[in-house]
Amino acid sequence: MTRLRPAGQLSRQLRTFSSSSRLTAAANVQRLGVVGAGQMGLGIALVAAQKAQVPVTLVDNSEASLKKGIAFAEKLLAKDVSKSRITQEQADQARALLTPETSLEKLSDVDFVIEAVPEIAHLKFDIFSKLAQICPKHAILATNTSSISITRIAAATTKDPTDTSASSRVVSTHFMNPVPVQKGVEIISGLQTSQDTLDKAVEFCKAMGKIPSVSADSPGFLANRILMPYINEAVICLETGVGDRDSIDAIMKNGTNVPMGPLQLADFIGLDTCLAIMKVLHGETGDSKYRPSVLLGKMVDAGWLGKKSGKGFYDY
């Protein structure tokens, strides 16, 4: 029996590799670019290297962010090895596929690029304008945005709206956080996005081991259109005294079988991010049901942003 187990494990690994390779080939992705070495960008790059087995060029204009990101990737790989999720050889192979760079010009040979910088519209527009000039004419230009219109991002790739050679290759691959853990990813088309671009994005995300859901380019898309009003309503319940923090989180955890309650989840997402998305939903739809909670705004003003600042609805 002891001889059969490694053989079975090897067989499963070969099947996984073969399936991933076929999906990657279907998407015509031989090299991936990721812009932004923060938590999301690093997670996307690492999963692509591990699951899709493609070389990844990770770009960030900060050397410090790149060093921090790569160190975190190595820590995650070492943890997987220690828990026997992967072998040391697999960890070494994944690490070898990650190349940190500080210039967008290094993305001149990629087949697919995913932007994962902060939710600042003008920053994303500037990046996509540059990517359209730097990347090969066949490359898919994807964004990890959670709230900004894909149509607007695509429009930033050209000054001539009749020229869709670049804008037709723009799509959103909105990964869920943390990327190495969460299986879901939203694939969102802008008005200009071609069917070929959409199909290739779906196939490549499958090669990364993700389960894609396709959404229209509507404020909040699918995930945040549903999730953020849920979180916002929980904050309103706290704000108006319907229930205290622990009761609100406990009833949702124990009543709907979610792993954490809405207030704790908001802390993990970042209260500033929650507020920003609610403002987008409210502003773009004009619907009062998306009005951000007053308490949510006050907490952001106080600098109580959740886990990343050490204090939110809970103390960290």
Q: Which residues are annotated as a binding site for NAD(+)?
A: 36-41, 60, 119, 124, 146, 177, 308
Contact 143, 128 (CB under 8 A): yes
Stated as kind and residue range, the H or E segment containing 10 is helix 4-26
Q: Which of 65, 144, 146, 147 is catalytic?
A: 146
Residue 239 annotated in active site: no
List, in order, residues 6 or more apart from 103 with CB less than 8 Å away: 59
Written as one letter, the residue type at 68 is: K
Smallest Cα–Cα separation from 269: which of 233, 234, 307?
A: 307
Question: Does 122 participate in catalysis according to the annotation?
Answer: no
Query: Which of 147, 168, 186, 203 is the catalytic position?
Result: 186
C-alpha–C-alpha distance, residues 182 and 160, integer Å: 38
Catalytic residue selected from 174, 189, 203, 215 = 174
Identify whether 138 is a catalytic site residue: no
d(CA 231, CA 220): 14
CA distances (Å), origin 90, targets 25, 81, 98, 129, 132? 21, 9, 13, 36, 34
- Distance between CA atoms of residues 109 and 93, nearest Å: 21
CA distances from 23 to 16, 36, 200, 207, 308 (A): 11, 25, 9, 5, 36
In the annotation, is 174 catalytic?
A: yes
- Residues with a catalytic annotation lie at 146, 174, 186, 224
